[in-house]
A and B are shown apart, each in its own frame.
Chain A
Amino acid sequence: MGRFVVRRIAQGLLVVVGVTIMVFIFTRMVGDPAKTMLPLSASPEERAAFRHELGLDRPITEQFGDYIGDLASGDFGTSVWQRRPAIDAVLDALPNTFQLVLLAIAIAVVLGVPLGVLAALRPGGALDRTAVVLSLAGLSIPQFWLGLLLIIAFSVTLNMLPTAGMGTPAHLVLPTLTLAFPALGRIAMIVRSSMIDELNQQYVKTAKAKGMPRARVVGFHALRNASIPALTLTGWELIRALAGYSVVVETVFAWPGIGFLADQALNNQDLILLQAIVFVVAVMVVVINVVIDVLYRAVDPRIKLV
């Protein structure tokens, strides 16, 4: 187990290095901040000075060397747009994203797992059909649209919840629901199908035949095995929410997390800040992956660790 964890971490580090190199290359392809950040009327001299200030006038290899060197010493550079260490901007936004994402995934799991189990108990029943519709809706409704619908319903029409920003618990409700909805659907579906599989297994039939109470058979034996794919999926949902969907949801609800920050960094052509965001997100994705792999093993010791 120890060796496995070390190996996974090493692999993760390799991924982070690869992502770092790619981010450097891509951000250099995005464009020239000296043009987009200065007013149209700025003189060529002002633009040149700005480029010089950012070091963009130096050979790309030199820029890359410095970038790696600085990263190694924990220096992510100074955000051009925010004019402060890029990592500070990321670390300020990160807790806000965590708050949103963890709550959303918790809601998705807490509602999705029982929904999947109940749906599996009576396939084709009303609850099952509801679960299928919900999950399909979650998959197919674009999140920005869902967000806007919720705003229209609960903020504009019913006047119950704020439309944007953060501050009170009420501000969390709509963005969390928007983020949770697709994950809830997917988790319910995977729990449903693996539960149906498990319920048809011989060991379940045996347990039932031995007179074990149904609740115990379903809730303990079958669910334990059925939860393995759900666990992987939950990890994926976390990654998806952190690295992708949060951009959409945070922008719609003006929620000041890293997705919102990434959107603004891109609009402001702030390459240094973008690099820091992608780096931090990449590290999180790797960490979540390692944790999921380890949990996997804890839930089911039969799984081979390679």
Chain B
Amino acid sequence: MRAPRMVAVLAILALLAAACGGGGNDQSGAASSAITIAIGAEPTTLDPQVRDDGNERAVNDNIYETLMARDAAGELQPGLATAAPTRKGEETWEFKLRPDIKFSNGEPFNADAVVASVTRVIDPKFNSEQASFFSTITGATKVDDLTVNIETKGPDPLLPSRMYWMKMVPAQYSSDAAFADKPAGTGPYQLKEWGRGNQIVLEANPNYWGAKPQITQVTYKFVPEGGARMSGLLAGEYDLITNLLPEDVERAPKSAHLQGLEHPMIILNARGSITQDERVRQALNYAVDKQALASQLFGGLAKVDTCQILSPQMFGYNPDLQPYAYDPAKAKSLLQEAGAVGKQIELVGETGRWLKDAETIQAVAGFWQDAGLKVKVSNYDFDTYLKHLFQQPNRPDAIFVSSSNELLDADRQYSNYYAEGGSGTSNSDPELKRLVTEARTNIDEGSRLQQYQQAGKLACDKAYFTFLLNIEDIYGMSERLTWQPRVDAKLIVSGMSTAQS
């Protein structure tokens, strides 16, 4: 087609588009305090106790509240409770509740609501995907209208953190069939409209007990494809998108990033094969240039892990640990000493589940190869990959995993990956197991912290993992939006504001 014709065709298309009403930019006027957020998929329910996925959370975190909350830096604070809970005996925590709070359907928030919320979410018949967060809780009892006891199986130091994850639902209405579509919470926002397949709109809750948010309306659009989210941001349709790719940071109108909770790492098998030798495991750590991974794969938006899979904001983080330096010569000599040079190591991975997973696995394999090993990378689909991850006897030599921790407490990761018996654990270290198991039920915060820090040091010294990176959460934002991302990656709209003209 000759150029003038092409122009004509484009012009016709443009006219057709204009005739259809424009539509791209419906947020005109800087004074408007309505924003649009693009999330990965439409929530399948707005019942806050059923699912455990980011899309449901993105919306419900603004409608519902919890007894304990966290500030943007991750500090645990009272939410719907007036203060941190007090212990009443080995297995009971007592919460005092804020008075005069109502759910948006008019039901009071009181001890009955807390008992109903706890009983509902732990009921096996309810089959909540969040159950693993609350597995230690056995029940709740009303003491008076504003006092509730929560009971656990044995001492549970994590209970306050668990209650940061458990959303409070109204006692009566939560058993109504309409609840999943028409939510009623105590939070700063309430549902205005759910156009299935199209959008969810929240508006400010006029009766909210706390400070009034500046944003009066928020619209959620559902866009799974990263490129499409970025296009929408560039076209001015969205004010906030999540999971911006590091390479798109420059192109986005504005971006924000923050050291997040995600830790890609490699579990080394300390129970068999060549990785049984501590020197080999250490060599695998010295061999990898983690700084290069951070700067080249993640555009600098990742930090080298400090020899532990915890972020600094998490309880149990050990500030004294240092990463294994990049020292290829040392790696080679350690491998030589262990007689492992030229031997084969299998690195099991998957593709597409986590940001830059395949690239990270390839890069690590390259570094290991350079150190003198034969590396066989086995990239599986996620299901087959999980079979390898969860397989207890005959675990793979090395398996890539990315670990996150929404409770911000070492227990969740250490019991899974550090202590023998955990679904991702590849060591049989009795001392490590003792520390993690004892910390699990240790109510004394000081000694519990020490136990986790010791566990962290032990796992680092013994190199049970090839520690890699702590990835930052990256968000794309419109020019007019002001927001500081949160450590827990929650999209709390009451913490956002728009520029006013």
Contact = CB atoms under 8 A, between A and B. Distances in A.
A90 B403 CA distance: 34
A151 B228 contact: yes
Interface string A92-124: 110010000000000000000000000000000
Interface residues of A, number: 57
B386 A35 contact: yes
Interface in A153-182: 153-156, 158-173, 177
A301 interface: no
B226 to A, nearest CB: 11
A53 interface: yes
Interface in B185-239: 195-199, 221-225, 227-228, 231-232, 234-237
B322 interface: no
B248 interface: no
A9 interface: no
Contacts of B327: none
- Give the bracket for the number of chain B residues in contact with chain A: 35 or more
Contact of B225 (A83, A159, A251): A251
A96 B20 contact: no
A229 B380 CA distance: 44
A213 to B, nearest CB: 30
Nearest to B406: A39
Contacts of A158: 14, 17
A53 B127 contact: yes
Contacts of B224: 251, 254, 263-264
A245 to B, nearest CB: 16
A30 B383 contact: yes
B145 to A, nearest CB: 33
Contact of A160 (B5, B14, B232): B14
A105 B227 CA distance: 27
Nearest to A174: B17
Contact of A177 (B13, B237, B383, B403): B13
B500 interface: no
Contacts of B17: 154, 158, 160-161, 170, 173
Interface stretch (B37-45, B167-175, B308-316): B37-45
A164 B223 contact: yes
B144 interface: no
A43 B423 contact: yes
Interface of A: 30-32, 35-44, 46, 49, 53, 81-84, 92-93, 96, 130, 133, 148, 151-156, 158-173, 177, 251-254, 256, 263-264, 269
User: Nearest 8 A-B pairs (CB), nearest first?
Assistant: A31-B383, A170-B23, A256-B197, A163-B232, A155-B235, A170-B20, A35-B386, A82-B44
Given A130-B1, A164-B237, A173-B17, 9 more contacts: A40-B423, A83-B51, A96-B197, A155-B237, A163-B232, A164-B223, A168-B23, A169-B20, A256-B42
